[in-house]
Every structure is written in structure tokens, then in C-alpha cells.
Chains A and B, each alone.
Chain A
């Protein structure tokens, strides 16, 4: 098959960029519906309580109230969750965190809905609650779910770690902790809906996974699949939280009963209280190396606080376990991750699924080992870096596209310069400077699970091509990249591809926009679909031109004969010819990465078909008298396989660094205290370092044009690099994120 690569690797204007700039993009809250009802959830003020009675009488009689729903009004199955179904849309018997919804008000105005929500009387019997995952595992702990507080356990075992430690020249053992984080996407969750003339419940949503929303809403309402239609509106970021069912179920329930347009728009405070958080992890890690710095053994015990419901907890635990050792070859590994329910807010998916947390631990360990061995932090990483042929902790042999070594080499020069420059103290007597490296690996797609994507490509009789994809573009640019991949395969320019995106009536399932999977997995599905169409066109052309197929190519809307490019036939003519014969003009592509499930006892298997790699170099200045940390510069090298859209990759890297700086230095969600941006600090433009993105392309043979993914990897190495730089500056290490003023000052003071 021929393919045109002109479309690939160029930073064409982003699809929809102009609409965003001019304000023409329609976000969910922008849809003007006729007379919509406003929806407002009544949420629990208690973190653990039995619901004895929900009295909606008085509230129902308030002016403007259309109806108040409780669990009893849910016609289908009142349990949701993408991995394990444990979360009711509306609580029936007991609430498990502050913010658990118990009733839903539909009213003529936002104000009426708010007033009525305040007037719903819920009688609770408060139960003992548990907020610490270790406490939650104790025998006498209050049971949050009937099956017990341990949601999931993942082991990954390779070799014999216990005995390998005795032969190590150096061993370091530390405990690392991270905090709950809020995603802080710009657009708070929002949705709207109406009932179509044919009775279809149409839901517009700010979402990362419309096809999942579709099946979940259908199940909640107990209706056939065809009665639901989810359309993803322009979405202002998601970072994992919009993978859960947030307001979609409320909208479906109201539409089902009231048959009237509704809208449901969360305030920032509601997104803080109601939506998922990043898991707080406690990680005990023991790592041993030989005199030469080669890692021999790693033992790791991780407690993962998943809060009140499962959400993506199992995925986070599994991924944390697989990635705990970092992008290094370690012969003996013994990892156990426990994912535990507590009465904290629900922790779910957030950019990286546990990998940012474990990277903080494994990268700190690397520096500690280097220090003990008197070795350079760069050197110890370079020596241990995974390479083609390496075997991972799950027993997977890496066959190709293992770019961690190249990433390290890419930052080497900057690293050496920064190291030699850091001893000059700058212009202030109370500042000191530090340099640190953080490295990571990240498996693309879901862990040891099928996670296919589909796409459809169709050609009109006039030769125009349309791509149908269920892939939600939440700002990362997948629509542009998928158009490029289709264009690259069909020999067209990307802007010639018409895109129909994320509308469950028109598109087929592309799976979640998560796990950095859309370029690799949906990209392959698109390529597959486009290739099938190309094949049809070429077959028709062979018939007409009487030349072998492999002498033909697609280019600019024509099939051309490579031997004489003046011999060409327009797509439109070939399409018409195929149509007359009854050959379909719409083709479906499919891709499911080759993985194998992990063995429940040993964790062995092939969890991912490919991995992305990255390392960051951070330079920081610390004011030792005040604890103020300035991240001066981050050099970020990322192996993306192939950058389909280099500017998009750079955008992901810069955004990832911003998020990483927040994770490292300031972000912390404290249940019961943090209510909104007034107490939750994320970096602003002024807090940003200079970012130097370096794109490394270690081509992935199974990727579309060699591409892998970068969405989550962009964030992962920043915090470890900053923390290592901090400890380089201070001579003291911080083991608890965020490294806020208090912790930095404490470390600064300890250095004496």
C-alpha cells in the first residue's frame, strides 16, 4: 500500500482553533435550548451516613420546581462505573463521601433549583468514617462497601527480590507520599439535553468518552441503545475527570421523565466537591544496586486511596504497579499495590493514572542510590535505561521503540552545562541552585486489557472524504491528528478530510480519550479504515488502467501511475464505479493493541503493546530563608515514536510541565477544606519556567506512521526532576508532595 507522508509531521492549523479564538465554539453550557429546566443535585454534607428518609414534599411545592428525583425514579440499574460498578447515580441507602448525590432537582431556573435543593430534607444517621487507607484496612474499620474496603490488589513479581538485596552494594529504602489533586480543567462539567422528534434522548456533554456515557445512560434508564444519543460539545479540558459519568446521568434521568429540554452546569465549587481527584499514594520503596550502579532489586508497597467509589482506581493501581520501577531494567522485583476505599472524595483517572506518583518515588530512589555510590545521577540512569531486548518487571520483552536512552542523551549537554553553572550562587546570598533529572516510561492504552478503537472513512461520489470517529477531542488536538493520519493514508491534504467527531448516533466507538491512547490506537483504526478505502480505489484503478496495483499510488484526490504520473484517475470516478458494482464506499477500521492480561498472582503478561519514554531536566533556585522555589528552566525530552503534529506535541509538553510544577510545589486538595481556586493554587504564567521541548522519535513499528502518544508522559517527569533539583540545591530531600513552603523551609533548616 502506498501512503503519502506530507500530511504527517507538519504543524498544520489546529481544527477548530479559529472557532476557539473567535468564541464561536459551542461548549455545553452555550447551547440555547427552548425553555430548559435547570438541574441541581442535592449532595450529602456527611462523609459516611445512612440515608433514613428523603423528604422532598416541601421542596417540590416551591415555585418553579418541576420535579425532584430520588433513587426510586431510576428505571434501570442504579450503579455506574467504567471498571467496577459500585457508584449509584443517586444514593439509595447510604452516602460515602461529602458530595454524594441523594436527590436531583429540576426547576425552571437555576435559582429555583438551588433554593429547592436547599429545602430537600434528608434524614441521615451519621456513621463512623475512615479517611486513611491504612486505617480502612484494619479489622475494626467501618465498612464502606459491603464487599470490604480493599477494592483491588495488584502484584508484580519478577525474580527473587528478597534474596537479591543481600547481594546489593547499596540499598535505599524510603516512604513517599502524594496528595489528592483536583484536575482544574478550565471548563467546569456541563451538559444539556432534549428529546428528539423520534423519542431519542439527546445529550450534549463535556466528556472524554461519549460512547461509554451512552451505554451507561442506557443502562441507568433501562432503555434500548438506540434511544440515546450523546454528542460531545467543545470540551475545555478533562485530564481524566471527564471520563466518569458526571452530569450525563442526571440529564438522561430528567429527559426520560420530563421530556423537556434540560441543562446541568456545575459551578467550579461543584466540580471540586463532586468530581474525581488524583489518588493520594503512600509508597514504601526499597531499591538496591551493585557497585557499578546497575539496579538489582526493587521492593515496593503502595497504598492507593481511591476514596468512596472505584472509578478508575483499579486502573491506577495496576498501572502504578507495572510502572513502579521506572524506565529501567531490574531483575528482581516485588511490588504490591493495594487500592482501598475510604470516605474521602472519589479518586479516579488523572493524567498519568498513578504513574506521576510512582515516578516521584522511583526517581528519588535513583538519586539516592547515585549519591550513595558517588555516581552522577545522569550516569546511573543511563546505565540502567531500558533498551530493545530488555525484559520488564511483568516479563515483557521490549521489541522496538525504546527511546529512553535517546531521551537521556538529548538532555545530556544541557544537564552538564546546568551542573557546572549551578555552583555560582547568582546575585543573592540566600539563594541556592539545583539541577535534577526525572525520567519515566508510560504504557500506551489500558493495562493488560482489550481497548480497541474503531473509525469509519467514507468517500462521496464526488470524491470528498469524511472521517467518522468517536474520539473525543478535549483540547489535545486528536481531531487534527486523526485527519492528518487519514490524509496521510489517502494522499490528501488534512483539511480536505471532513470530520464527524464524537456523536454516538453517527460515529462508532473509539474508546476513552485517556491513557495517551488516541493517537496510537484510534490513529491506527483511522489508518486501517483509510487503507481499506484506498484499496478499493486502487482495485478499481487496476481494472481501468491495466497496471499492477503496486505500481499505483494515491495523490491529491487521484490514483496515479507511478511510472507516469500523468496517467491518473480521479477518486470521484473510481468511487462512482465502485458504487455501481455495489462495493461499499464507507469502510470501518479497527485496532486493538496486542496485549495480554496480567497474571493475578505474579503480574506477568504484556500489559501494553508499546511504551512512551521521557526525561526532564529541571533547574531551580531556592531561597533558603523563605522556602521560595523558582523553577527556572525545564528541558523536556520525549520519545513520541513519531510526532504527527509537532506543535501539538510541544503544546502537550508545555502544559504537562505546568501541571508538573503544580504537582511538585503547590497543589493539594484537602477534603473538607479546599473548596475552589481560592484555596487551591495552580501555577500561573508567572510561575512557569522556561520550557525547552525536545522531540525524540524512536519509531514504533505498530504505530500509525510510527507514532505512540505524549498526553500523559508530558507531565510525569517534571515533579521528580524538580524534587531532585530541590534536593540538589538543599542537600536535603523532601518525601511528601507538594514540596510547599513549609516542607522546603523545614528541609532548608535541617541542612543546618
Chain B
């Protein structure tokens, strides 16, 4: 691995100052499980001079439950999120999502902030530089998208335009379905936005002098039913081929409200609004679930090698909706 400097930040403000003073040559590191791999393989043409360590910022790894909801510091470990009894009880979709990530070793290093900010896993994008040279593709600002003509079995079936890499974060869809907000700290102060608005087709809305400070999740009502299902090729240590998180409000056997997000199928967490419309107001029976499943993939545009994902998504939607908990 090529060398870089490593400096510890003592506060969010200091981290932002460091980002500003290194002017594009500094990069944030939290658990390092993603960023170090990227540096080791030198997949990007520019290489940072310095890594700014966030782990030394006190208190940013807290998980706090209040009457209003849950505040999770960006440095909270996925392992801690997965094992928190409060989160298991009230936010099971998030707990399951965190638990589904990678392996125990990685979950004890990886942070929720890093999980939301991690880079895509497209195998062309990630091709190591020392093995015949990195691939300069559209996402890197030069060249075509290799996935369009190449092997795209793991790529997007929806919402892809120029780049078909999927958003790899499992926690993202659970948090979106839970209507989480993300609090971003930067040179201009703090801004808070719905998590859904955080993601863009080519990454996220973070500016070069900003960092993720915390995640805020409103408390679900008594009537809420949650599900998270992740489908992988191999059981553990695998990214989602497709996944679903849904949060349903069920009152008197009727679905009053629904939020359904799909993962692994689009460049961003995919909001399955059409499916939500179908189930809202009615009872959740087999035909409705079937109809919602179809609606969730309406308009999907698979590439040459990934139409199979559509079948999987349909099955996941049905199962998540019919799941009794």
C-alpha cells in the first residue's frame, strides 16, 4: 500500500478544518474497512496525502434512545447497533440490516457513518491497479461504463442511467424505511435532511468539507411492523443481490401506511412507491402482495445479465409483506 499520513481529529470541527486545509488531499477514515481497501487497490487515480481519523472524536459513537426516537452517532459500530436491545426491540429492521453486513470482524470495525458513505462495489470500478491497471470508467469521470456491455450480473436493474453500480449499504434501506434523518456537519454549520435525500446516483450530497455526524430515527408507533430481508449468493460475508426493508403501519388488519425500500437493485436505495400505493388502505393478503410485488419492479430495465434480480425482488417483496411478526 502506498504511504499516507494519518492524523487524529479531536472534534468534528477539527476534522472539518483538516479537510479544508488539505484541500482535496485529505480523506476521512472511520472504521477503515472500506477506505483502506480502496487505497490498497488504488482504484482511484488520485490518492490522498492524509487520512483524517474520526475515531478519536469523543462521544460520536453513542446510541441514544429518547422518547422521540433514536440518535446514533456516525461512529457507532455496526456490531453495537446489531446487538443493542433497544434497537432490536423497536427498530428491528435496522438491527437486522446491521447484523446482515459482512462478518463479525468487519462489523466490529465498521461504523454506521462509513456504511452509509461507502463506495460502490462494481467489479470494474474496484479492479485493482496493480493487476493490469485500474479501469477508468464513467463513475471515475473518464471513459465508458464497462458494465453495460460487460458482466453486469450484480448491477442495477432500476434507476441506472450512466452508471449501473448499486448502492451497497444494507443499513441505508432500513434507515430510509424508518424515515431516518441524517445530520451533516461542515464549514457552514449543521444541516439535517431525510436520509433518502442524502444519496445521489453517483454517491451522496456531502461537500468536500462535510462529515456525517449522526442519524436520527423517529420512534415508530405501536402499530408498526418491520421487515428486512437480504438475499445473497452465499450465506454470510456477501453483499445483497437484492434486499428489502419495509415498515408498515397495521391497524385493525388494514395497512394504514407503508414504506418499502429496495437495496442492491439501483444506484440509490430504491423507494418502491408504486408498491406502497397498492397496499395502503387495504388488508395484506396474498393477491395484494402479489400485485405490490409486480408494481415494485414495474419499469425495471435489466441489463443483459441481471434480469434474474427482478424475480428475486418480486419474491422478497411478497415475503416481506406477508411476513407475520
The docked-state distance in angstroms from the alpha carbon of A99 to that of B127 is 14
Tell yes or no: A226 within 8 A of B by CB. no
The docked-state distance in angstroms from the alpha carbon of A46 to that of B133 is 10
Q: Taking the nearest CB of chain A, how far is it from the CB of B314, in angstroms?
A: 7
Tell yes or no: B280 within 8 A of A by CB. no
B133 touching A45 by the CB < 8 A rule?
yes
- B residues in contact with A628, CB < 8 Å: 231
Given contacts A269-B130, A675-B123, contact A111 B151 (CB under 8 A): no
A626 touching B128 by the CB < 8 A rule?
no
- A residues in contact with B128, CB < 8 Å: 269, 675-676
Q: Taking the nearest CB of chain A, how far is it from the CB of B244, in angstroms?
A: 12
- Interface locus among B22-30, B48-56, B234-242, B265-273: B234-242
Instruction: Pick the contact of B237: A670, A684, A749 (CB < 8 A).
Output: A684
- Interface locus among B10-18, B202-210, B304-312: B304-312
A687 touching B235 by the CB < 8 A rule?
yes
- A residues in contact with B139, CB < 8 Å: none
A684 touching B308 by the CB < 8 A rule?
no
Among A98, A273, A684, A742, chain B packs the most CB atoms within 10 A around the CB of A742
A741 touching B314 by the CB < 8 A rule?
no
- B residues in contact with A625, CB < 8 Å: 311-312, 314-315, 318
- B residues in contact with A675, CB < 8 Å: 41, 123, 126-128, 131
- A residues in contact with B1, CB < 8 Å: 111
- A residues in contact with B126, CB < 8 Å: 675, 678-679
Q: Taking the nearest CB of chain B, how far is it from the CB of A534, in angstroms?
A: 52
- B residues in contact with A272, CB < 8 Å: 131
B132 touching A273 by the CB < 8 A rule?
yes
The docked-state distance in angstroms from the alpha carbon of A568 to that of B233 is 65
Tell yes or no: A666 within 8 A of B by CB. yes
Tell yes or no: B121 within 8 A of A by CB. yes
Instruction: Pick the contact of A740: B233, B238, B307 (CB < 8 A).
Output: B233
Tell yes or no: A745 within 8 A of B by CB. yes
Given contacts A43-B132, A273-B131, A681-B238, contact A623 B123 (CB under 8 A): no
Q: Taking the nearest CB of chain B, how far is it from the CB of A432, in angstroms?
A: 14
Q: Taking the nearest CB of chain A, how far is it from the CB of B240, in angstroms?
A: 12
Tell yes or no: B124 within 8 A of A by CB. yes
The docked-state distance in angstroms from the alpha carbon of A670 to that of B132 is 14
- B residues in contact with A746, CB < 8 Å: 308
A627 touching B312 by the CB < 8 A rule?
yes
Which B residues from 96 to 140 make CB contacts under 8 A with A? 121, 123-124, 126-128, 130-133
Contact with B along A87-111 (1 / 0, CB 8 A): 0000000000011000000000001
B308 touching A681 by the CB < 8 A rule?
no
Tell yes or no: A557 within 8 A of B by CB. no
Given contacts A272-B131, A741-B308, contact A674 B123 (CB under 8 A): yes
Q: Taking the nearest CB of chain B, how far is it from the CB of A99, in angstroms?
A: 7
A626 touching B316 by the CB < 8 A rule?
yes
B311 touching A627 by the CB < 8 A rule?
yes
Given contacts A99-B132, A674-B123, contact A111 B315 (CB under 8 A): no
The docked-state distance in angstroms from the alpha carbon of A686 to that of B238 is 12
Q: Taking the nearest CB of chain A, how far is it from the CB of B291, in angstroms?
A: 16
Residue of B nearest to A40 (CB): B130
The docked-state distance in angstroms from the alpha carbon of A625 to that of B290 is 12
Tell yes or no: A44 within 8 A of B by CB. yes
Tell yes or no: B299 within 8 A of A by CB. no
Which A residues from 263 to 282 make CB contacts under 8 A with B? 269-270, 272-273
How many residues belonging to B are interface residues under a CB distance threshold of 8 Å?
36
A673 touching B315 by the CB < 8 A rule?
no
Contact with B along A648-684 (1 / 0, CB 8 A): 0000000000000000001000101111101101111
The docked-state distance in angstroms from the alpha carbon of A626 to that of B244 is 13
Residue of A nearest to B286 (CB): A429
- A residues in contact with B305, CB < 8 Å: 742
Q: Taking the nearest CB of chain A, how far is it from the CB of B147, in angstroms?
A: 10
Main SS class of interface, A: loop
The docked-state distance in angstroms from the alpha carbon of A734 to that of B237 is 26
Tell yes or no: B153 within 8 A of A by CB. yes
- A residues in contact with B121, CB < 8 Å: 678
Residue of A nearest to B147 (CB): A673
Main SS class of interface, B: loop
Tell yes or no: B3 within 8 A of A by CB. yes
Instruction: Pick the contact of B151: A45, A673, A741 (CB < 8 A).
Output: A673
How many residues belonging to A are interface residues under a CB distance threshold of 8 Å?
42
The docked-state distance in angstroms from the alpha carbon of A44 to that of B132 is 6
Number of A-B contacts (CB under 8 A): 97
Tell yes or no: B187 within 8 A of A by CB. no
Tell yes or no: B282 within 8 A of A by CB. no
Instruction: Pick the contact of A430: B3, B123, B235, B315 (CB < 8 A).
Output: B315
Residue of B nearest to A115 (CB): B2
Tell yes or no: B150 within 8 A of A by CB. yes
- B residues in contact with A44, CB < 8 Å: 132
Contact with A along B280-316 (1 / 0, CB 8 A): 0000000000000000000000000111100110111
- B residues in contact with A273, CB < 8 Å: 131-132
Tell yes or no: A114 within 8 A of B by CB. yes
Among B127, B131, B233, chain A packs the most CB atoms within 10 A around the CB of B131
The docked-state distance in angstroms from the alpha carbon of A389 to that of B311 is 52
- B residues in contact with A269, CB < 8 Å: 41, 128, 130-131
Residue of B nearest to A682 (CB): B234
Given contacts A273-B131, A673-B127, contact A627 B308 (CB under 8 A): yes
B130 touching A686 by the CB < 8 A rule?
no
- A residues in contact with B318, CB < 8 Å: 625
Given contacts A626-B231, A683-B234, contact A741 B241 (CB under 8 A): yes
Which A residues from 675 to 732 make CB contacts under 8 A with B? 675-676, 678-679, 681-684, 686-687
- B residues in contact with A118, CB < 8 Å: 130
A749 touching B311 by the CB < 8 A rule?
yes
- A residues in contact with B131, CB < 8 Å: 43, 98-99, 269-270, 272-273, 675
Q: Taking the nearest CB of chain B, how far is it from the CB of A103, in angstroms?
A: 14
The docked-state distance in angstroms from the alpha carbon of A676 to that of B43 is 14
A626 touching B315 by the CB < 8 A rule?
yes
Given contacts A623-B315, A666-B234, A684-B235, contact A114 B308 (CB under 8 A): no
- B residues in contact with A683, CB < 8 Å: 234
The docked-state distance in angstroms from the alpha carbon of A674 to that of B127 is 8
The docked-state distance in angstroms from the alpha carbon of A672 to that of B147 is 12
Which B residues from 198 to 247 make CB contacts under 8 A with A? 231, 233-238, 241
A742 touching B308 by the CB < 8 A rule?
yes
Instruction: Pick the contact of B150: A99, A673, A684, A741 (CB < 8 A).
Output: A673
A684 touching B236 by the CB < 8 A rule?
yes
Q: Taking the nearest CB of chain A, how far is it from the CB of B273, in angstroms?
A: 23
Q: Taking the nearest CB of chain A, how far is it from the CB of B82, in angstroms?
A: 17
Given contacts A273-B132, A666-B233, contact A111 B312 (CB under 8 A): no
Q: Taking the nearest CB of chain A, how far is it from the CB of B220, in angstroms?
A: 28
Instruction: Pick the contact of A626: B2, B133, B311 (CB < 8 A).
Output: B311
The docked-state distance in angstroms from the alpha carbon of A5 to that of B314 is 62
- B residues in contact with A672, CB < 8 Å: 127, 132
- B residues in contact with A740, CB < 8 Å: 153, 233
Contact with A along B64-105 (1 / 0, CB 8 A): 000000000000000000000000000000000000000000
Q: Taking the nearest CB of chain B, how far is it from the CB of A287, in angstroms?
A: 31
A114 touching B130 by the CB < 8 A rule?
yes
- What are 23 inter-chain pairs, A to B, with CB distance below 8 A? A44-B132, A45-B132, A46-B132, A98-B131, A114-B2, A118-B130, A269-B41, A269-B128, A270-B130, A273-B131, A625-B315, A626-B231, A626-B312, A626-B316, A627-B312, A628-B231, A672-B132, A675-B128, A681-B234, A686-B234, A741-B233, A745-B308, A745-B312
Give residues in B with beta carbon < 8 Å to A: 1-3, 37, 41, 121, 123-124, 126-128, 130-133, 150-151, 153, 231, 233-238, 241, 305-308, 311-312, 314-316, 318
The 6 closest A-B pairs by CB, nearest first: A625-B315, A686-B235, A45-B132, A742-B308, A745-B308, A98-B132
Identify 8 new A-B residue pairs, CB closer than 8 A, beyond the known A673-B124, A673-B150, A742-B307: A269-B130, A270-B131, A626-B315, A673-B123, A678-B126, A681-B234, A742-B153, A745-B311
